[in-house]
Amino acid sequence: MPKVGMPEIRKPQLVNATMAVIDRVGLHAASISLISKEAGVSTG
């Protein structure tokens, strides 16, 4: 059975990517797709 949750090392990476995307395109235009591309991770 796979692990559930997110490795602790990924959290700062995703937070930084989220902030970068929001800064670049704004909160209303930010999406999971843009954030995952910025962080270099897959959405699924």
Range of the domain at 32: 10-39
Query: What pLDDT is recorded for position 9?
Result: 79
Report yes or no on 44 lying in a domain: no
Report yes or no on 5 lying in a domain: no
Report yes or no on 18 lying in a domain: yes
Report yes or no on 1 lying in a domain: no
Query: What is the Cα–Cα distance from 13 to 39, expressed in whole angstroms?
Result: 6
Residue pair 13/39 in contact (Cβ under 8 Å)? The answer is yes
Q: pTM of the prediction?
A: 0.80
Query: What is the Cα–Cα distance from 32 to 38, expressed in whole angstroms?
Result: 10
Query: What pLDDT is recorded for position 30?
Result: 98
What does the pLDDT look like over 1-44, one tens digit per residue?
556 666 787 899 999 999 999 999 999 999 999 999 999 998 87
On the CB side of 30, CA atoms within 13 Å amount to 15
